[in-house]
Structure 1
């Protein structure tokens, strides 16, 4: 088994490689799919996709409800991930900022104050400075894997 920080770094790199430059598209390239992919890289089985497919904000909200969650934060909490202050987030952690809708926006921490995610004014998912995050979760490799 590789060291924890190495596993976290490799998972963050895989997430960056898969999503960087991908235009936002509900149900394919969105923050929920990004976070679920990242969690799978670390051995988790996120229930985020349990609600089925969707192609709009309304469909995403319905899929989240079908999966049994009121919010993306609740879905992450059910994995047993520790909530931490966003300023304490390190490579491989997941952070959330307020979004244009009620969902909020999830992103993966790459380290050195940078995240991968989507933001207004960008054509696709990009590496950005981590600012205005309101929630974060520590994401160590899953102990069950």
Structure 2
């Protein structure tokens, strides 16, 4: 569990910066970093610089949704089974849902469409609002 906490803190520290398509500071990049910090070897992310470019890259890779992509990389779990460092998907904007990381105090941390200044705990009133969760 200590390794999970350290990997998660390292990832969240790296992404305590504004969301940026051009700067490769997106929830997909954050999720890949978390997987790598936890010892996984996820595939590289295609170079995209906009939401439209990301959508095109996702479809070109054969995935209709971000959840489908995560299903291809990690085992899906119930949101109630999340440990520190696991990934969760929350409802997002029109194009994408939001990938978050389960932190050390049971909160889901990620960017919010209303405040892209850096990753922050997200307001999740019920685990029913979590679209999916994956063990990292």
Q: Settle same-fold status: TM greater than 0.5.
A: yes
Cα-to-partner distance string for 1:60-116 (whole Å, 9 max, x where unaligned): 01111222322221221112x221222321201000011112421101111322222
Matched position secondary structure for 1:7: helix
Q: Report whether the alignment pairs 1:89 with 2:82.
A: yes
Q: In 2, distance between residues paired with 1:75 and 1:48?
A: 13
1:31: how far off? 0.6
Alignment TM-score, normalising by the size of structure 1: 0.80
Q: In 2, distance between residues paired with 1:48 and 1:74?
A: 16
Q: In 1, distance between residues paired with 2:41 and 2:123?
A: 26
Cα-to-partner distance string for 1:20-47 (whole Å, 9 max, x where unaligned): 1x11112511111110111111122223
User: What is the total number of aligned residue pairs between the two structures?
Assistant: 131
Give the aligned CA root-mean-square deviation in angstroms.
1.8
Alignment match of 2:3 (pick from 4, 7, 25): 7
Moved more, 66-75 or 25-34: 66-75
Moved more, 116-125 or 87-96: 116-125
Q: Report whether the alignment pairs 1:32 with 2:28.
A: yes
Structure 1: which 5+ runs fail to align? Answer: 140-145
Alignment TM-score, normalising by the size of structure 2: 0.85
Q: In 2, distance between residues paired with 1:114 and 1:133?
A: 12
Q: In 1, distance between residues paired with 2:106 and 2:81?
A: 10
Q: In 1, distance between residues paired with 2:123 and 2:82?
A: 10
